[in-house]
A and B are shown apart, each in its own frame.
Chain A
């Protein structure tokens, strides 16, 4: 199993600013994943973060808007840049152990 801690759990931000979300795992993992869940919607994969290489982004997501860091095998950050109200969502970090995915509690972001 894996225990994932995300910080902050929630935040209210002004449009045009940036927020960095932290994700800490209790064990080393090769890949970490970032998802977005817009209000009332399902989860959408943003990117895959590998340690030592640039993140791989899914269609519709770009590095300038969602820069990701992966400094070691237990930690990753996702930054939501130049925020607008449309970025108001829950952002979740995930890791895979064997064939089971584990998720953090999520960061609820509100942009005003």
Chain B
């Protein structure tokens, strides 16, 4: 399983765009990149998933360069409620590893008024 490296913490202000980068140098051909968000006293929640280039949903965008050795989660116009820990996970979406998630340390994002 590919190991991931993220900043431990980030600070932002309301209304700004936040970009969190994750490094995964030994990502495998079959691996997808998935981001989860966790609020205090809650389980993680799926944000976005991608394999290459760019993926966008109603919550965030995920940018993946051609070499796939890193990825960037982009949160547009953050609010106080986006304060949470964000986890980047890399893994094969099929086979025996399906559902077995290995979390790194995550990035604590704090949004200030």
Overall SS of chain A's interface: strand
CB–CB A43/B98 < 8 A: no
Overall SS of chain B's interface: loop
A42 CA to B93 CA in the complex, in Å? 21
Can you list 11 residue pairs at the A/B interface with Cβ under 8 Å? A4-B43, A31-B99, A33-B100, A33-B101, A35-B101, A94-B99, A94-B101, A96-B99, A101-B36, A103-B43, A103-B44
By a beta-carbon cutoff of 8 Å, the part of chain A in contact with chain B is: 4, 31, 33, 35, 42-45, 48, 92, 94-96, 99-106, 108
A43 CA to B102 CA in the complex, in Å? 8
> Known interface pairs A42-B105, A99-B93. Does A105 touch B99 (Cβ–Cβ under 8 Å)?
no
Name the distance in Å between B75's Cβ and chain A's nearest Cβ: 19
CB–CB B45/A103 < 8 A: yes
A44 CA to B102 CA in the complex, in Å? 7
A43 CA to B43 CA in the complex, in Å? 10
CB–CB B99/A92 < 8 A: no
Q: Mark B86-113, 1 if CB is under 8 A from A, else 0.
A: 0100000100001111111110000000
